[in-house]
Structure 1
């Protein structure tokens, strides 16, 4: 349970989670309030970061402390997710139906509780994450998830911040893990305002996903747009050449068409090379 300045909600979330877990670990990520103290009073084991390092760093610390666990649950400490929903996530892993279970606020078209400005940004992040990981997840930014214990070595924890939500799903997909979604509800209430500015937060997450896409999905990122540019360049080149044969010289447009075709060809081949390299790296890592 990553926590940063959540003294108002941490106690109730810990108490609720203890009803469904053998051990509750709170990673106090440099809080300046009584988050850690209250979590400890509520019965949690508290691990402390001296300074705020971000959600990804907090989850990395937490996962290092639970390497002997059969199932790990991650839940946000701001009270948006009710611990009473934890059994929904445990069931598919216990039955062997999934390695990773994602709690989705938007399964079956739900999610009316989510503020509209958030949902628009989340749609973009969902699309980018799904393309990068070749996934079909309806809520890629969910803070309520379950993981089988054997999945722990799969996760890189490269991201220090909120990008970790997408990164973990992409890592799971690249490793061939079975991912399942279950429907959950959420309550925003007084917590509707994210600690980070929603625009800068969403943009930073999107940039990181796109950076990952360069490695995970280079064909989408380079080859597809490059091929389109190359095709347009060739078509325009033929058109301008035909006009030249008919006595009309379009010098600068012709040069532009040639450059478009050359640059598109370069992007397309770059995508193919990166795709081959990424597959080789993934095979070498045993994924």
Structure 2
């Protein structure tokens, strides 16, 4: 049985994206060779590192037989992973899968080995090494950022993951071709990978791993502002579409009032409101379909969108009317802003997970805890 487990380790390729590494990368590779395997394939991507870093890549290539891919300029972690996946599909087609590992010392070889061994028991599932961020010894920025992002991503996408930003992942080989088409070249790519697995009903299993932060995570290349914007890009596009639709509604209404006021003095407000709302609703549907959720297939999403549109409109009117009628709060416009804000977030969830939901195979239990 021990020989079988040892052989199974060799069926997984280790992929390590790296930018301007230090001695921690060499230590990681050395420990992999010592604690896991002398012959397991290791691919390291030099993602546009500076000249001072070249000696580290030369050392791991010559001393520890790593395969080095080099990007002449920094393209991002997502692009680095895609470069490795492309070659693995061609050159390692008989292997079971790939494990991605961060090169900054945050993943122990003990956890890397355990994740590989768990994956070989479930080779058709994605395996995620999940950290616990409740420990107060974790740097405050990382603890708050990871918990907040985890809750937002889980709630927006109907997921149940304890760590949505883990870099320690074991991916079945059959997922790599699809992952090459997943959008994103930097840290947002890892988030989009999870959504790809969910949309295609590929099971994700979690294995608890150690939460390691060296020097308060100062070596991380994660940009809190830029990379967070990319991670939340779908919701940002959704908000932008909503604002644009609101402006379209106001402009259309104002134009129609100007045109129709003298022709239909008794009904121009109603006519203008209806036409403006239909116009802005159609604009919102098309922008959400093609720019926000990027649904490519022809489907019945228009029917679901119209149904949701009327449900939201009726809910808004009914709830606001009820609050004004049956409570002491009679400032209708202020109540409407509050209720419509809540409905706005519910609408995002409904559009992402129902109106524009991608086609997948029959539903499965997406996440399991090991």
TM over 0.5: yes
SS of corresponding position for 2:171: strand
Q: Does structure 2 conserve the Cα–Cα contact (< 8 Å) formed by 1:133 and 1:169?
A: no
- What is the aligned counterpart of 2:75 among 44, 47, 53? 53
Q: Does structure 1 conserve the Cα–Cα contact (< 8 Å) formed by 2:165 and 2:190?
A: yes
Aligned to 2:46: 28
Structure 1 residues 96-105 or 133-142, which shifts more? 96-105
Q: Does structure 2 conserve the Cα–Cα contact (< 8 Å) formed by 1:129 and 1:209?
A: no
SS of corresponding position for 1:234: helix
Matched positions, count: 265
Aligned to 1:72: 98
Distance 2:122 2:84 in 1: 24
Aligned to 2:192: 167
Q: Does structure 1 conserve the Cα–Cα contact (< 8 Å) formed by 2:186 and 2:227?
A: no
- 1:94 offset after TM fit, Å? 1.6
Matches within 5 A, 1:87-102: 87-96=113-122, 99-102=125-128
- What is the aligned counterpart of 1:215 among 293, 315, 336? 293
Aligned to 1:17: 32
Q: Does structure 2 conserve the Cα–Cα contact (< 8 Å) formed by 1:103 and 1:145?
A: yes
Aligned to 1:245: none
Matches within 5 A, 1:241-252: none
Structure label with greater radius of gyration: 2
Q: Does structure 1 conserve the Cα–Cα contact (< 8 Å) formed by 2:131 and 2:211?
A: yes
SS of corresponding position for 1:161: coil
- 1:271 offset after TM fit, Å? 5.5
Distance 1:127 1:270 in 2: 13
Q: Does structure 1 conserve the Cα–Cα contact (< 8 Å) formed by 2:157 and 2:349?
A: no
- 1:226 offset after TM fit, Å? 9.3
- What is the aligned counterpart of 1:180 among 175, 184, 205? 205
- 1:191 offset after TM fit, Å? 5.9
Distance 2:154 2:40 in 1: 33
Instruction: Find out whether 1:4 has 2:19 as its counterpart.
Output: yes
SS of corresponding position for 1:47: strand
Distance 1:201 1:254 in 2: 35
Q: Does structure 2 conserve the Cα–Cα contact (< 8 Å) formed by 1:105 and 1:111?
A: no
Instruction: Find out whether 1:103 has 2:129 as its counterpart.
Output: yes
Aligned to 1:150: 174
Aligned to 1:246: none
Query: CA 1:239 to 1:3, structure 2 compared with 1: closer, same or farther past 3 Å?
Result: closer
Structure 1 residues 10-19 or 68-77, which shifts more? 10-19
- What is the aligned counterpart of 2:358 among 276, 279, 284? 279
- 1:4 offset after TM fit, Å? 0.2
Distance 1:110 1:254 in 2: 41
Distance 1:237 1:82 in 2: 58
SS of corresponding position for 1:279: coil
Distance 1:190 1:180 in 2: 30
Q: Does structure 1 conserve the Cα–Cα contact (< 8 Å) formed by 2:125 and 2:202?
A: yes
Query: CA 1:254 to 1:89, structure 2 compared with 1: closer, same or farther past 3 Å?
Result: closer
Q: TM-score, normalised by structure 1?
A: 0.75
Distance 1:184 1:123 in 2: 16
Distance 1:138 1:198 in 2: 22
Query: CA 1:224 to 1:5, structure 2 compared with 1: closer, same or farther past 3 Å?
Result: farther
Q: Does structure 1 conserve the Cα–Cα contact (< 8 Å) formed by 2:134 and 2:143?
A: no
Q: TM-score, normalised by structure 2?
A: 0.60
- 1:208 offset after TM fit, Å? 2.6
Q: Deviations over 1:90-109 (max 9, x none)?
A: 23322237511100111xx7
